[in-house]
Structure 1
Amino acid sequence: MKIDDIDRRLLEELLADARLSLKELGGRVGLSSPSVSERLKRLEEGGVIRGFTLDVDPKALGYLFQAIVRVRPLPGTLHVVQKLLDDIPQIIECDKVTGDDCFYARLYVRSMEELDTLLDKVAEKAETHTAVVKAQTVQRRLPPVV
């Protein structure tokens, strides 16, 4: 889908504040509310806007630690390990990657004991290497809207 300069400006405004009203968005990009609504609908239908989310602080829910786990399945266990990872609700995202490891999983836990318990679920089927996140210096963000 091709996007124009007005679409880019709409996306930039929504990235800065997704709670803007259609009227406010329109005022910022020089369109009426119905025109903004139609453009946003087109951007959604075209797959540019995939959804709208709620940003919740995991610490507010008691998750004190974030970890990144590199996972290397043992021979013949790739699909089993993928299913095991998918079934752990504390894993908030997992990427299948190239290289020595097959998966990079990001998860939140309430304690180091909980982390050990979760890692034990895959220990028989895969090697894991875990890093506990001390600080997130760059928050998840989109590449430039150009």
Structure 2
Amino acid sequence: MASDRQLKLLDKTSWQILAILQENARIPFKELGKQVRLSAPAVAERVRRLEEAGIITRYRAELNLEKLGLSIMAFVTFRSFPDKCEELKLLLHESPEVQSSYRITGSDHYLAKVSVTSVGHLEQLVDRFITYSTVTTSIVLSTPISGRVIDDEIFPEVVEK
């Protein structure tokens, strides 16, 4: 839950800044300031406060994995065998194909987003995990929604008027 200090940072202008940065984290402060009607130093100060509050946690480049040869994306669920949960977690961490993993509720223990070069590569990845868990894969056919911007319309009660 957001702290009172964090909530005070989230006025309409801060939400505009966050939305713009989610679309283009490399935008110069001068241009960002123009878009939200603030000076470059004022925008820089707001961004600094959002970073210090832990609302902005990092900046990163988004890669086209298909152009890198990783043409298959899949979601994989893992139901750990008894006493194998820690080993499974370690293997998830050590596997470069795993883009992200989540400890989840329900009958499975982990969900991972993976990228591989081929179905054969996916099979090799699954084979590494079958000693530790029951594995279920779902290959991604398309991505209708990706990288959706989080803005004040999702959380209207958080925005200070």
Q: Same fold (TM over 0.5)?
A: yes
Question: Which runs of structure 1 show a deviation greater than 4 angstroms over 4 or more consecutive aligned residues?
Answer: none
Cα separation, 2, equivalents of 1:94 and 1:37: 33
Amino acid at match of 1:15: Q
Aligned length: 146
Q: Give secondary structure in 1 for the equivalent of 2:135.
A: strand
State the partner residue of 1:94: 101
State the partner residue of 1:32: 39
Deviations 1:43-94 (A, max 9, x none): 0010111111101100111011111101000111111111111110110001
Query: Structure 1 144/7 Cα, relative in aligned 2: closer, same or farther at 3 Å?
Result: closer
Residue 95 of structure 2 is aligned to residue 115 of structure 1: no
Q: Give secondary structure in 1 for the equivalent of 2:105.
A: coil
Query: Structure 1 65/83 Cα, relative in aligned 2: closer, same or farther at 3 Å?
Result: same
State the partner residue of 1:69: 76
State the partner residue of 1:20: 27
Q: Provide structure 2 residue ranges, at least 5 long, that are not aligned to the other structure.
A: 1-5, 156-161
Identity %: 29
Deviations 1:22-60 (A, max 9, x none): 111111112111111111011001011111110110011
Residue 51 of structure 1: which of 50, 58, 70 is its match?
58
Q: Give secondary structure in 2 for the equivalent of 1:98.
A: coil
Cα separation, 1, equivalents of 2:94 and 2:115: 14
Cα separation, 1, equivalents of 2:150 and 2:106: 24
Higher relative contact order (CA 8 A, sep 6+): 2
Residue 23 of structure 2 is aligned to residue 10 of structure 1: no
TM-score by length of 1: 0.94
Task: Give the alignment's Cα RMSD to 1 decimal.
Answer: 1.2
Q: Provide structure 1 residue ranges, at least 5 long, that are not aligned to the other structure.
A: none
